[in-house]
Structure 1
């Protein structure tokens, strides 16, 4: 790619954490970490040894009992134990996302193993929407159900719960969604939103509440080992629902990830095989987030949740394999639908922007269209939000009605935005970062206008851009297996404990290309002067071509491909950067006349020894491969000593450039300069570029004079080497002279400089006329 070619990189907001090197060093020494990873702990709020120890060794926690956290848990246990002992029919009302389906499967397994009679129902996503409803309550009553359990729903279902109580059924609500102003009249409610935020149970997802209930019920009935076989379902649902991996979630998910590869759950094993993860022993949350969770969620979005419930509750390998294959097909269909809807939504947005839509002014994206599958538009909303950094509300129009999904940004509260438009909606729910809604299609224009007003009141224009949160700066040479191993000590990573994001300033783009079947992904090789590394940017190929230098923000990943493993970068942020500035200071002016003595025709070594031995005060001997005189002679070498004026400067060879000579004369302040002009071997271009690759750091100024002296080349040769190596885009705009020779010609021309006659040097150092006003 030609140097200086510009490209359209995305507008991003980078928020780089403030470094605390003193505290980082203390934590690093206490726990055997590098200061880099200790800084990540500090960024997560783990600023004391006690907090860091709990984080790094969650298995050592002594947790408070769940009964202390959930004050209505004893009542729920009483109801369930009585129902099991009396043979009362129990029914679960679940949900069609991964959290709801794993919660349903978990309690089905638990209650059945404890001898209870239990069945379940999940509302139709397409026909009924989210949560328990009057139809389900009436159906349960007609089937003789005596106790209803809701999982991952129910907290807002006042009317259906009231109807169940009216019909004489007991109701236990297990949910984790935000509390409404009026709670349903259930017999017991278990919801982490009802306990203090400081509790280790406060971040539980729906499946977490179900896991607590099942575990405590097993203990009540003397089956203490039951919770262990349910841990994998808890882990699947917790990670897939993006529950914060803090508190008990962190401890239990860490144990659950270790159990999943050898799971005794036939359905989990079939799901691992279908997703290509069978045999992997080092699963991380991303394996669930990108492989297992989407296959479960796909069924809930576009298929029948019964498929997943049967998958996770069966003990028949043939049934499990068949259901896992159905999940795989549903996921492939979901991917195709997402790609189609995303492309259509992107085109709609482009048309609106071409027609004058300014996201900096509107500050929210609102899109709606007939024919979209509302089961997958939430995924599309997430992608648009990630791409544009704006809140997204996207709806599928179905006749006179519309149903939608919303995704928020850190400064935009989705649920509050929906509440602000409540009179325009027929239903809504959610939390700060996501939500769902329904309304009459005729209300869409008014809904959009209300959202724009809400967004303008809460978002500044500069906040409408993707946010890249960065933990620390690092050199690419540090990105290796040792760093990857330290990052593993932070696992499980997810919401509430994000994977560390590092950054490199001014990385040189060595190679760039698109990759993947659809050529939508970015494949880079980057260098920062300490090392080269491969970097992958998912869905970033549209930003090609990149400028010669970029700041990169990335996570560190292990790439396993065809039996080979290597460490690489996974890009999360890119922005244009500039190479390091050139430091080329001008020397101070000369303030005294100089007498030149040309000794190029004498026996240099013998004359030098005799001349120096005859001096009363030290002389300065300078030059390439200059001789070392016997001890005791009055001579200093190479560098003038501070506050010392020299009568004689002896140039065994000329400096690398006229600029170096002027600096040397200004610093030495000699009365006489003796020129021996010994030959200096000319550096090879490849050697010079090898030196640069070993020393160039883009975030630091390039000390032209020092490096040119070190390698004995002229500043111009060094600048041209920087250009040819790709480190500089246009050094001629930095350095004043109109230099235009290529590196080879410049290096060859150094021989003529080293042989310059005294007259040339005198002219070079002659005082320059000053301009007068």
Structure 2
């Protein structure tokens, strides 16, 4: 069974019923509101309808906002060149794109720069200051960085440049000597603006400037879309103005005015749902593709994607983001596997140390933060992962991820004397140091962890809102949950639990049987049986035939039918502590007749995955089972490199010709798509039929072709990685 600790909210049945009568919600959901500290009808109405909230003027809460507006307004009026220094994560790139669009629309002359993740690391530096000065920049504007950049800011001021810092990261003991600083950590804690991310600060600044200049008509909606993308991708809390503006922005994104967002929606298959997107569509589909570029490639790709108005350029950049994200997923899988293997070969004493510090030479710095998060999920302790930056292994650069009881930024502060550079916030951070100080860092982190963590903290935490009966999990309840959206950080999806359910069926599913699928029922309602899926829980199969389950609700729509399913987040033995392990005949694979193409768990959102199986695309079909292939007189294994597109499996290969090479893509029906270099049409030969020409610029064929090319490139990359690791 999973090693978890469950935190059950205290039931408040009478208060939940009273609040339910006031706001017309199911008592299960008003219990959720009570758990969030929303305990009056007035507070509940504002939460459910955030537009009712009366917001203070941003100028009242940000003391330097008027000064910042004056700096920008003066620079625009005098034709001065403004230099934006951004960051290479989704928050920093969306912030940069937002202010580029806004300042140019307001008549500003603007250039931008983002430091190299691999060569320079996070934040503004002297090289960027020098480059700006050579270009003629007179005002430097940082976004999502700068709050700890004392030396570069002082250097810029010495050169006669003005500096405006916009950031949201935790404050150092002393602030840089900038002309103005906008950071929500500097304002009152009860302010509705307190939780904005870097893109939120940029949005506040841009809209406030546009209002002063009386030019908000056409600007606000596109800026709000970028705000929504960056806020969700950066895991900012969905409370205060974030909840209000993200809710509004999610309604705009399906029919975006931005060519880049339209292209991302097209490439990732994100569709409109009830007139709006769900946050997980961004968090699991759009955001990772933006973030992947900053981790592995040139952030300028994303800046161009989000600032272009040319749909052709946008599609090209979106396909490039998709390609890079596939490489990112593969690298994450390889590094995670290597990290687990290393820890199995060299088991740490986590009960003694209560923190994990892992440094390896061959890993890619751009993805180690993601791997750190996965190791936190697996081991339940804070994780610090580093790589050696040079062949001599003299310098280390790393990323850190924490657990609720461990403040990562404070942990790095405890190591400040030996770190060359560090930054971050409570949940995550980055650092660099000389390799000779690694053991000192380890000892300081162990001491800090032992001061702040108890042994019971060293298991993944499952926070649960309310106990429910399976018979009450209706479509009406699921629809009412929409009123609590957008859900995310500090406003998570409701988590329900049901004790002592019977496991009627269980099986492994997906690639490598990584996931767990159950059919569960209750003794007093034997006719109500619901499907449940546990992502990354396949290792626990088989489980006892009686368990307590914790879950979120998901809607499955397939073949015209709709059903409620459970997304498992927790499993444990019932209160009596016993459960009978089912006999060995338990099925651990899905029958071939119903098997869908396996999908890597990182490639789909949890919400969309809960809806599997999906309706096949009309153009191309799934690969059949070997028996079906023989019945259709097809080879059981078609030639080429396998890949997945739109949840379907294909194979592709490059075939030499007399003077060129062609790309071939096979599907299971025996259809063959042949593509020649630089051609806008391809030849589709169907089984038993004649060849026909298809337009490769159509979104389906363009994305299919790009996925095939990505698979071929990844196949070569795998060979390279194997050689490096061997």
The answer, yes or no, to whether TM exceeds 0.5 is yes
Residues 271 and 277, structure 2, Cα contact 8 Å, conserved in 1 = no
Partner of 2:387: 396
In structure 2, C-alpha distance between the alignment counterparts of 1:448 and 1:10, rounded to whole Å: 28
Candidates 57, 70, 73, aligned match of 1:65: 57
In structure 1, C-alpha distance between the alignment counterparts of 2:452 and 2:577, rounded to whole Å: 38
Deviation at 1:213, TM superposition (A): 0.5
2:298 match: secondary structure: coil
Partner of 1:12: 4
The 3 A distance-change label for structure 1 pair 562 and 93 is farther
Deviation at 1:517, TM superposition (A): 2.3
List aligned pairs for 1:682-693, cutoff 5 A: none
2:214 match: secondary structure: coil
Deviations for 1:692-749, whole angstroms, at most 9, x for unmatched residues? Answer: xxxxxxxxxxxxxxxxxxxxxxxxxxxxxxxxxxxxxxxxxxxxxxxxxxxxxxxxxx
Unaligned runs of 5+ in 1: 1-8, 582-773
Partner of 2:233: 240
Deviation at 1:562, TM superposition (A): 5.8
The 3 A distance-change label for structure 1 pair 310 and 562 is farther
The 3 A distance-change label for structure 1 pair 408 and 443 is same
Partner of 1:364: 355
Partner of 1:438: 432
Partner of 1:49: 41
Deviation at 1:88, TM superposition (A): 0.7
Which of 1 and 2 has greater Rg?
A: 1
Deviations for 1:287-337, whole angstroms, at most 9, x for unmatched residues? Answer: 110000000000000111000000000000010000000100111000000
Unaligned runs of 5+ in 2: 579-726
Partner of 2:148: 156
Give aligned pairs, total: 570
Candidates 362, 381, 384, aligned match of 2:375: 384
Residues 503 and 547, structure 2, Cα contact 8 Å, conserved in 1 = yes
Residues 153 and 174, structure 1, Cα contact 8 Å, conserved in 2 = yes
List aligned pairs for 1:634-649, cutoff 5 A: none
The 3 A distance-change label for structure 1 pair 578 and 70 is closer
CA RMSD of aligned residues (A): 1.4
Partner of 2:531: 534
Candidates 270, 276, 284, aligned match of 2:278: 284
The 3 A distance-change label for structure 1 pair 563 and 435 is farther
Partner of 1:468: 462
1:558 match: secondary structure: strand
Deviation at 1:279, TM superposition (A): 4.5
Partner of 1:503: 497
Deviation at 1:559, TM superposition (A): 2.7
Residues 378 and 406, structure 1, Cα contact 8 Å, conserved in 2 = yes
List aligned pairs for 1:263-662, cutoff 5 A: 263-280=256-273, 281-353=275-347, 357-399=348-390, 400-529=394-523, 530=525, 531-561=528-558, 564-577=561-574
Q: Which 10-residue stretch deviates more, 372-381 or 386-395? A: 386-395
Deviations for 1:456-481, whole angstroms, at most 9, x for unmatched residues? Answer: 22211121000000000001111121
Deviation at 1:235, TM superposition (A): 0.2
List aligned pairs for 1:754-769, cutoff 5 A: none
> Under a length normalisation based on structure 1, what TM-score does the superposition of the two structures give?
0.72
Residues 269 and 278, structure 1, Cα contact 8 Å, conserved in 2 = no
Partner of 1:608: none
1:219 match: secondary structure: helix
Q: Which runs of 4+ in 1 moved over 3 A?
A: 278-282, 560-565, 578-581
List aligned pairs for 1:215-254, cutoff 5 A: 215-225=207-217, 226-254=219-247
In structure 2, C-alpha distance between the alignment counterparts of 1:186 and 1:419, rounded to whole Å: 23
Residues 504 and 518, structure 2, Cα contact 8 Å, conserved in 1 = yes
Residues 360 and 462, structure 1, Cα contact 8 Å, conserved in 2 = no
Q: Which 10-residue stretch deviates more, 52-61 or 421-430? A: 421-430
Deviation at 1:22, TM superposition (A): 1.5
The 3 A distance-change label for structure 1 pair 369 and 561 is farther
In structure 2, C-alpha distance between the alignment counterparts of 1:186 and 1:398, rounded to whole Å: 31
The 3 A distance-change label for structure 1 pair 67 and 429 is same
List aligned pairs for 1:158-177, cutoff 5 A: 158-177=150-169
1:250 match: secondary structure: helix
Task: Confirm whether residue 116 of structure 1 aligns to residue 113 of structure 2.
Answer: no
Partner of 2:639: none
Deviation at 1:26, TM superposition (A): 1.3
2:403 match: secondary structure: coil
Deviation at 1:424, TM superposition (A): 2.5
2:38 match: secondary structure: coil
In structure 2, C-alpha distance between the alignment counterparts of 1:556 and 1:147, rounded to whole Å: 50
